[in-house]
Structure 1
Amino acid sequence: MAFSGALTLSDLNDFISPSQACIKPVEVAKTSETQGSIKVDTSGSYYEVSQDGLETKLETATISLNDCLACSGCITSAESVLVTLQSQEEMYNILKQNKIAIETNDPSTHRTVVVSISPQTRASFAAKYNQTPIQVARKLTWFFKNLGVHSIFDTSFSRDLALLETGREFVDRYKKAIVKGVIKPPNMSADASATADSGDMDVDSAAKAPRKRIIRRGAANDEPAVAVETESAMPMLASACPGWICYAEKTHGYMLPYISETKSPQQIMGSMVKNHYGSQLGLKPDQIYHVCVMPCYDKKLEASRSDFYSDLYQTRDVDCVITSTEVEKMFGEQGMTDMAVFGEMDLDLGYNSVVKDATGHDQVLVGAAGNASGGFLEYVMQYAAKELFGVHGVDVDQGHGVQVKTVRNSDFREVTLELPTGEVLLKFAAAYGFRNIQNLVRKVKTGKSPYHFVEVMACPSGCINGGGQLKQDSSIPLKDWIVQVDHQYRNGVVARKPEENPVLAQLYQEWLGGVDTPKARQQLRTCYHAVEQNLVNPLAVKW
């Protein structure tokens, strides 16, 4: 018996908007030409009753993560195809193809396979298998190299670039917002200036810089008909979360000028691997197959964006994204169920944030300070405090030099940089989960947002609680599990400011030709696109 392909989701705890229509066409194969009836028992279970009285229990309809990501509702059929192409099966196919190429001595079909692993993934495995993050990094290196992977990197490295670019972008945007009158400059007295030197704020050069204007004219009913200049829009909103980006593009196009143009660590790693690393090996981008291991299913959709596709080489910066849970599934497929018995291999030289001991072996991992979502709020605050006002020693994690306050719930924090006089210099926030994001969007829309910068993440508790992370034992409450994974995220990892990464300065010069060059913008920045959609509740349609 065929059922309707329409399904309506409503009143979900952390869904974007209640009663939003969701349409997923489903092909139902007919098993018989005869028609029966539907029976519902006292427990609410549904049964199909054939004409001869045979009852068959019907399974509950479900929508998988491939069907419904943390975006504005249904993904398109084209997006669904792109997501299904990103799985461990596709990675296996490339590795198998490489093996055949070697056996047949056919280098034309061989591709160099590179895997980049997120620090949140390491933390998830460390918590579940009772390992340290450095042990997990070595064991995953051993596992993937035994499959035939050539190089394994760490996205903590590309995150340093993302943080640096985000900090520079914010400082530039802040100066231009002052010039344009979007925000008021702090009223700093002579005494206050001795503590916070604003002499570095070169507003004249900011005024002369070219500006890019994006105008929204009320394409949607709730969209204000106002003009917003991207390069002076405040608050600046973090761009590392693809779930948040999808939500903004598909439901609130007028928010796009406020979003940071800096690519996420995943996509910056993609640019480095396909362009810089590939050129070092004498390879073209299409001769490299780049896999990213991420805590989030939305990262698959991010990798599929047309902005990150090379028409010249017909390849993506990130060819495939697999989640932490999919990697664990690969363990079982290879006959390995306990990570504790894996071998260990040192991390590859290159894009890895690791300190080696006197013998040349991996000792500890290094990474930016801050929370497990990447530390964007923490870094941009300390960077802007120094660059704009000459305030040094700011440490959001430790509460040094700033006021940190939890607002409404644990997923919404405010961080304020103040002068001794009480004058507010910078006010930042972190908004996690769509409940808090919706409140933020309303404030920005009405011009009532008091913030200069907001770290936005679609998942409650941020990336450490991404939908693709390993699940806890049923005996452990989710809150306790998140605490354990967060502890492992920081366990044995040495905090280092991105500008202290000795390889980055070399990268900027060798690969990008400098800090603020056209090539640097091309490789490290991106843009966003409002998606026009016409959502109709299928149950309200009259045929």
Structure 2
Amino acid sequence: MAFSGALTLSDLNDFISPSQACIKPVEVAKTSETQGAIKVDNSGSYYEVSQDGLETKLETATISLNDCLACSGCITSAESVLVTLQSQEELYNILQQNKVAIETNDRSTHRTVVVSISPQTRASFAAKYNLTPLQVARKLTWFFKNLGVHMVFDTSFSRDLALLETGREFVSRYRKAVAKGVIKTPNLDGSAPESTTAAGDMELDTPQEVAPKPRKRIVRRGAASDEPAAAVETESAMPMLASACPGWICYAEKTHGYMLPYISETKSPQQIMGSLVKNHFGSLHGLTPNQIYHVCVMPCYDKKLEASRSDFYSDLYQTRDVDCVITSTEVEKMFGEQGLTDMSAFGERDMDLGYNSVIKDPSTGQDQVLVGAAGNASGGFLEYVMQYAARELFGIDGVDVDQALGVEVKTVRNADFKEVTLELPGQPGAEPLLKFAAAYGFRNIQNLVRKVKTGKSPYHFVEVMACPSGCINGGGQLKQDTSIPLKDWIIQVDEQYRNGVMARKPEDNPALAQLYREWLGGVDTPKAKEQLRTGYHAVEQNLVNPLAVKW
């Protein structure tokens, strides 16, 4: 039934109000089997009244900024529908559809099912079931193949591509920022450089300084105080901020649009894997993208939202690069649904070669060994970009952030904020060549955003992650036993992330050079940018409390 013409709804949009949609659970401690009544006094305070009349004031449930950052309550209703379509039930439906297609000999509805597993998921299962990461990879391959999945890959492979592209993008930005006067390169003789113009305070280039050319996204300050300090051009914006965390990207797009030029345009490992599977893998096997159903197993629920972005949807084939994201906890739930309880008792199968970071053991030539980039459990972006930039920009080799070789590493303010500084060899106390940071958790992100907006950020690159402790502590990871403190559990999972994985630089992965040459036609080609880069979009919102709408 339509509304009366006299009634008007104003200031409404597609966003769900936090007052209705906040999903943070509140733990209620039960002191007895029988609960008393709830009383509300004149001030609005709540009291629990026991059966003997004793009143106990109830604490107000609070929602911290950390809780809000990765909460789905502020996604649009359209996005929420897309996210709910991504579950193990959808995977079951596709597998059942394939079974029927084979039984009826109707290949038109059959789809090749590919599952890509994140290294953080491997680590989570390894810690819980006391297995090695390689055992987990082989057991998950066995599990998914028994369900009817055709291929099982590992996103450590696509992470190599993401790291290489991020390193190249940073070096390109740095050089352009120097050419435009946004930053100054410290003198290699150890003397102090001229004063550096911060990214937030820079002036636009004049035609005499730089030849006119098409510009990428520019954000220009107006009268509003919530906008950046000056015009910012993506190709030379500093600091460059990592883009692998969808919680951070969602937050930036919907609350701080002026931050978008600073964010790396390199796709996340998940979405690069989507490009590989739907385009390269498909072409090798004579399949169109819509004939492949691609599932990613991730440590984070926000990865579902990332997969649903319109940027990663093909209008031509009516399909997404990643059709479905299921989390580590959802995979464990699938075990129970299949009548399996103890992962240690699973069988094992060799992982599929091709897009896997797995090689034959160089010492025996037989057993499989996992390989991957060194660095922290959020992907090692800071570590790799620092190493890559030191070599490409200053000719400095041997940098190792994990071992603090060639760099100074220190924790600032809290365990989730780290600074890494590259100094000129043999010149202690000289102006640093590069200054990077890792900012995890909402409090640190807020401080970073504030400094970038005011032009006071001292960093060249920042690895940004929404979750405290990073991806290894993602909301979709397996939960620890209640007897284990969370801090100790994160340490255990982090150790498993690194355990049994042979460190290898992305550029030493022989398959990547072949991919660039045969699939992308080179490093900086239009196709390479189409498949490996993306863009971001400021989203305007005006959240209102639906309960306050006047009729």
Alignment TM-score > 0.5, same fold: yes
Task: Note if 1:496 corresponds to 2:509.
Answer: no
Task: Note if 1:112 corresponds to 2:112.
Answer: yes
Q: How does 1:107-506 map to 2 (within 5 A)?
A: 107-189=107-189, 211-218=215-222, 222-224=226-228, 226-357=230-361, 361-419=366-424, 420-421=426-427, 422-506=430-514
**DSSP-derived class of the 2:230 partner:** strand
Q: For residues 431 and 69 of structure 2, what CA distance do their matches in structure 1 show? A: 42
Runs of 4+ displaced beyond 6 Å: 60-63, 206-209
TM-score (normalizing by structure 1): 0.85
Cα deviation, 1:433-458, whole Å, max 9, x if unaligned, reads: 00000000000000000000000000
Displacement, 1:227?
A: 1.3
The question of whether the paired residues in 2 share the 8 Å contact of 1:21 and 1:538 is answered with no
- 1:163 counterpart letter in structure 2: L
Cα deviation, 1:82-140, whole Å, max 9, x if unaligned, reads: 00000000000000000000000000000000000000000000000000000000000
**DSSP-derived class of the 2:231 partner:** strand
Displacement, 1:423?
A: 2.2
Structure 1: segments with no counterpart, 5+ residues: 1-19, 27-37, 47-59, 193-205
Cα deviation, 1:299-357, whole Å, max 9, x if unaligned, reads: 00000000000000000000000000000000000000000000000110110001214
Q: For residues 412 and 248 of structure 2, what CA distance do their matches in structure 1 show? A: 20
The question of whether the paired residues in 1 share the 8 Å contact of 2:440 and 2:469 is answered with yes
- 1:122 counterpart letter in structure 2: R
Match of 1:202 in 2: none
Q: For residues 25 and 238 of structure 1, what CA distance do their matches in structure 2 show? A: 27
**DSSP-derived class of the 2:450 partner:** helix
Q: For residues 151 and 83 of structure 1, what CA distance do their matches in structure 2 show? A: 24
**Aligned mate of 1:24, from 21, 40, 50:** 21
**DSSP-derived class of the 1:456 partner:** strand
Q: How does 1:65-84 map to 2 (within 5 A)?
A: 70=70, 74-84=74-84
Q: For residues 175 and 302 of structure 2, what CA distance do their matches in structure 1 show? A: 33
- 2:441 counterpart letter in structure 1: G
Displacement, 1:184?
A: 1.3
Displacement, 1:207?
A: 6.2
Match of 1:7 in 2: none
**DSSP-derived class of the 1:331 partner:** helix
Q: For residues 397 and 281 of structure 1, what CA distance do their matches in structure 2 show? A: 40
**DSSP-derived class of the 1:157 partner:** helix
With over 3 angstroms needed to count, the CA separation of the structure-2 counterparts of 1:494 and 1:538, relative to structure 1, is: same
Displacement, 1:223?
A: 1.7
Task: Note if 1:510 corresponds to 2:515.
Answer: no
- 1:352 counterpart letter in structure 2: N
With over 3 angstroms needed to count, the CA separation of the structure-2 counterparts of 1:444 and 1:108, relative to structure 1, is: same
With over 3 angstroms needed to count, the CA separation of the structure-2 counterparts of 1:102 and 1:363, relative to structure 1, is: same
Q: For residues 499 and 111 of structure 1, what CA distance do their matches in structure 2 show? A: 33
**DSSP-derived class of the 1:346 partner:** coil
Match of 1:527 in 2: 535
With over 3 angstroms needed to count, the CA separation of the structure-2 counterparts of 1:21 and 1:103, relative to structure 1, is: closer
Q: For residues 231 and 458 of structure 2, what CA distance do their matches in structure 1 show? A: 19
The question of whether the paired residues in 2 share the 8 Å contact of 1:295 and 1:323 is answered with yes
With over 3 angstroms needed to count, the CA separation of the structure-2 counterparts of 1:460 and 1:191, relative to structure 1, is: closer
Q: For residues 155 and 293 of structure 2, what CA distance do their matches in structure 1 show? A: 16
Worse-superposed segment, 471-480 or 418-427: 418-427
**DSSP-derived class of the 1:276 partner:** helix
Task: Note if 1:40 corresponds to 2:38.
Answer: yes
Cα deviation, 1:263-317, whole Å, max 9, x if unaligned, reads: 0000000000000000011000000000000000000000000000000000000
**DSSP-derived class of the 1:516 partner:** coil
**DSSP-derived class of the 1:139 partner:** helix
**DSSP-derived class of the 1:226 partner:** coil
Cα deviation, 1:49-97, whole Å, max 9, x if unaligned, reads: xxxxxxxxxxx9999xxx9771685111101100000000000000000
**DSSP-derived class of the 1:476 partner:** coil
**DSSP-derived class of the 2:92 partner:** helix
Q: For residues 62 and 188 of structure 2, what CA distance do their matches in structure 1 show? A: 58
With over 3 angstroms needed to count, the CA separation of the structure-2 counterparts of 1:139 and 1:72, relative to structure 1, is: closer
Q: For residues 371 and 219 of structure 1, what CA distance do their matches in structure 2 show? A: 41
**DSSP-derived class of the 1:322 partner:** strand
Q: For residues 213 and 301 of structure 1, what CA distance do their matches in structure 2 show? A: 23
TM-score (normalizing by structure 2): 0.84
Match of 1:30 in 2: none
The question of whether the paired residues in 1 share the 8 Å contact of 2:154 and 2:357 is answered with yes
With over 3 angstroms needed to count, the CA separation of the structure-2 counterparts of 1:99 and 1:221, relative to structure 1, is: farther
Displacement, 1:23?
A: 3.5
Match of 1:203 in 2: none
**DSSP-derived class of the 2:311 partner:** helix
Q: For residues 264 and 332 of structure 2, what CA distance do their matches in structure 1 show? A: 33
Q: For residues 157 and 338 of structure 1, what CA distance do their matches in structure 2 show? A: 28
Structure 2: segments with no counterpart, 5+ residues: 1-16, 24-35, 41-45, 50-59, 193-208
- 2:480 counterpart letter in structure 1: Q
